[in-house]
Chain A
Amino acid sequence: MDALNAIVALANFVLVPAIAYGSQLALGALGVTLIYGILRFSNFAHGDTMAFGTMVTVLATWGLQAMGVSLGPLPTALLALPVGILGCMALVLVTDRAVYRFYRAQKAKPVILVIVSIGVMFIMNGLVRFIIGPGDQRFADGERFIVSARTFKDMTGLEEGLAIKTTQGITVITAVIVVALLFWFLNRTRSGKSMRAYSDNEDLALLSGINPDRVVMITWLIVAALATVAGVLYGLDKSFKPFTYFQLLLPIFASAIVGGLGNPIGAIAGGFVIAFSEVTITYAWKKVLGYALPESLEPEGLVQLLSTDYKFAVSFVILLIVLLFRPTGLFRGKAV
């Protein structure tokens, strides 16, 4: 019984949250990695792109809610998601046309593009705060839990409950669908193949008649969709606050780099590596160990390796270790 309780407690406090957070990070990191692979710079504005897409979705959700539209047990935000994606696509295409294209034509150094993306970050950040304000916005509605801790306890008769929030379930399912679509697109369609070719060897791709403008445009469209989905899922799961999205930049970059920049599979793996380490290292293990160990060994303290406020430190240390010992990431990324 104790062993079962330990497993349930572990699932409830570590596995489920980490899987949901990992999916969100993976989607974010995919966006960063695609931009790195095709446009060849680290996009510092990615967190704020996510925030913008989410903001449009939040506004659309409020509109739908005001009209009385709902999805029943599912959050209304899912209906508003396409609007958010379209809004985000419009924004990144305008940004690319107005800002990035000039530097691409100049063949500017990657670090110049990074500085340019900092400027874009300021603008997007200001825009989001201007429109929706810097405060916390909740926009999740519908059923809160797929399985609540109480029902689980009643069902199984265990002491520990297992709660799975609707948003966590949606996060994982959506992430799986999005990733499957993305890989199908990259591996099976003509446009996807030309994207991969362009990422692998730009000169050779140009020589074989691939239109670079088209590749870049498709990349931005995909990135906008990924960023919006990632942002909305994160916002549903926690809450939407522009500054938090800016801070997500660090774990997202860590995921992309740990997996290997420019490598989509790496980005997914990296997202889960970072999420699981953040959650396991900042979780207080007292409860789980209390069940798992014999009574005499039961720990007195919280057995928390680091306080939750240090979660950035965790992603950072992993990032540094990977960079020092395997600079191209777990899955071989590219080095420009």
Chain B
Amino acid sequence: MSETMKKTALFALVAGLIVFTGLFQSWNTALLILNMGLISAIMSLGVNLQWGFAGLFNVGVMGFVALGGLATVLVAMPPVGEAWAAGGARVLAGLATGAALLVAVVLLRRAMRPGRARALVTLVVLVGGFFVYRAVFDPGVEAVEAVNPAGTGYLGGLGLPVLLAWPVGGLLAAGAAWIIGKAALGLRSDYLAIATLGIAEIILAVLKNEDWLSRGVKNVNGLPRPLPYEIDLQNDPGFVETVQGFGLDPVTSSSLAVKLGYAGLFSVVLLVILLAAQLALNSPWGRMMRAIRDNETAAEAMGKDVTRRHLQVFILGSAVCGIAGAMMTTLDGQLVPTSYQPLRFTFLIWVMVIVGGSGNNFGAVLGGFLIWFLWVQVEPMGYWLMQMITAPLAEDSALKAHLLGSAAHMRLFTMGLLLLLVLRFSPRGLIPER
């Protein structure tokens, strides 16, 4: 079977699975899977940029995805005027103080000669500065959070169209990646892994605790949508007439229409990123990246600046994850910091890339769809399987209840098994790198 044939067959298989879901479960579920599959595909393209192209081991995907989600709030939510009046300026001044402090430390360290004196001065400035920063920052935060804590209690966003949040999410993630990359990219691969793992946890801790920024665990609900609400469609006589012309129920079809609209928007983004990634892969830049990945020393000997290229591709990949994160929060319509879990948003994306085929963009996209489909469908399948297994047990048996109740956790097990099987028997993935 030729390469193209195999590729087409695999994609057809995934499309078939989704259509199958639509026919036998409901089209609503099928479209939900499709939408999240599109987003997952974008995330795994981002990870593929870093791992497949350049061999960078980033397990902080969750952090960048969460930053994308934050961008949605910062861009699209209306500003809370009262909170800005109460402490907005003070919060900004606090942040500026913090930034100035870091710059001062860097400049000081440049000006002084290395030695004990420099270490001491750095420490004193950092600790002293920290207290100054908190003194400026804390009252502002308190004032902002005191403004109607049940409803707002945060600064709000800029009130701009939500679609703008997608590129902004990318920029935010890119900025964070730049800082992290500057500090951690010189490290060995598994140190980089631990460092990114930690960064993701910190970004999440910030989202959960800085209420003035993201309302923390109180969540931000009711994010503006780029598409009309279902209820508006149902009240639109034109829409109702059209769908009734097809013999469809307006309530169901309004929800399907909105989901289809999202699918369209997401597909455009996916296609643009996929096209860019393909062009990059086949360009001299892509060849250089792979050369660096395969032999850093040789690439360095050819005059390539390995650290800079690594930083570049790290930022690009993270930005892609940030865009996907912003899209996901837009789809959900709310930012729920507690919903970000490393197994789901970091390691599952890794399963997608490895299973799909690292180094191959189409592989990453396929992995995104396929693994997301399984992640959703393994749960009902596991439940069904458990029902079969436990059928002979008595109706009121505790073991039966426990097994049925635990069936949901089968999905983690299945994902791990799948990853190990692919790594063992087809280590280059379903669609290997050419």
Contact = CB atoms under 8 A, between A and B. Distances in A.
Interface string B414-429: 1111011001100100
Given A99-B420, A323-B187, A324-B183, A122 B415 contact: yes
Nearest to A335: B188
B197 interface: yes
Interface stretch (B154-162, B259-267, B311-319, B402-410): B402-410
13 contacts: A115-B419, A119-B351, A120-B420, A122-B412, A125-B343, A126-B411, A126-B416, A129-B406, A129-B409, A250-B194, A257-B191, A315-B198, A320-B195
B205 A111 contact: no
A129 B341 CA distance: 15
Interface stretch (A18-26, A211-219, A305-313): A305-313
Interface stretch (A130-138, A165-173, A183-191, A289-297): A130-138
Contact of A313 (B202, B343, B411): B202
A115 B424 contact: no
B350 A115 contact: yes
Contact of B419 (A119, A133, A316): A119
A251 B144 CA distance: 33
B65 interface: no
Interface in B321-347: 342-343, 347
A316 B199 contact: yes
Contacts of B409: 126, 129-130, 134
A119 B423 CA distance: 9
A116 B405 contact: no
Interface of B: 55, 57, 130, 183-184, 187-191, 193-195, 197-199, 201-202, 205, 208-209, 342-343, 347, 350-351, 354, 405-406, 409-417, 419-420, 423-424, 427
B343 A307 contact: no
Interface string A310-336: 101101100110011001000000011
A254 B354 CA distance: 26
Interface of A: 41-42, 44, 99, 102, 110-112, 114-116, 118-127, 129-131, 133-134, 246-247, 249-250, 253-254, 257, 305, 307, 309-310, 312-313, 315-316, 319-320, 323-324, 327, 335-336
B175 to A, nearest CB: 18
A116 B350 CA distance: 11
Given A121-B347, A320-B184, A323-B191, A126 B198 contact: no
B187 A312 contact: no
A111 B411 contact: no
B420 A123 contact: yes
B198 A122 contact: no
Given A111-B57, A120-B416, A327-B191, 6 more contacts: A44-B193, A129-B409, A246-B342, A249-B197, A309-B209, A312-B201
Contacts of A335: 188
| Residue of B187, B199, B205, B354 with most partner-chain A CB within 10 A | B205
B190 A316 contact: no
Contacts of A253: 194, 197
A315 B187 CA distance: 17
Contact of A102 (B412, B417, B424): B424
B306 to A, nearest CB: 16
A130 B202 CA distance: 29
Contacts of A111: 55, 57, 189-190
B195 A133 contact: no
Nearest to B119: A325
A42 B205 contact: no
Contact of B205 (A120, A124, A309): A309
Contacts of B405: 133
B194 A257 contact: yes
B397 to A, nearest CB: 17
B209 A307 contact: yes
Contacts of A119: 351, 416-417, 419-420, 423
Q: Which interface residue of B191, B342, B416 has the most chain A CB atoms within 10 A?
A: B416
A250 B200 CA distance: 11
B354 A115 contact: yes
Nearest to A123: B416
A102 B205 CA distance: 38
A312 B198 contact: yes
Contacts of A313: 198, 201-202, 205
Contact of A323 (B193, B195, B416): B195
Nearest to B348: A122
B428 to A, nearest CB: 12
Contacts of A130: 406, 409-410, 413
Contact of B412 (A114, A129, A254, A307): A129
Contacts of A126: 409-416
Nearest to B416: A122
B198 A254 contact: yes
Contacts of A112: 423, 427
Given A122-B347, A312-B205, A323-B191, A250 B197 contact: yes
Contacts of B417: 119, 122-123
Nearest to A110: B190
A42 B184 CA distance: 17
B413 A250 contact: no
A335 B186 CA distance: 14
A319 B412 contact: no
A125 B57 CA distance: 22
B193 A42 contact: yes
Pick from B350, B354, B415, B423 the residue with the most CB of A within 10 Å: B423
Contacts of B57: 111, 114
Contacts of A250: 194, 197-198, 201
A124 B198 CA distance: 21
Contact of B194 (A42, A309, A310): A42
Contacts of A122: 343, 347, 351, 412-413, 415-417, 419
Nearest to A116: B423
B209 to A, nearest CB: 5
Contacts of A249: 197
B256 to A, nearest CB: 33
Nearest to A251: B198
Contacts of A315: 198
B183 A131 contact: no
| Pairs A-B, 6 closest by C-beta atoms | A122-B416, A126-B413, A126-B412, A316-B198, A123-B416, A119-B419
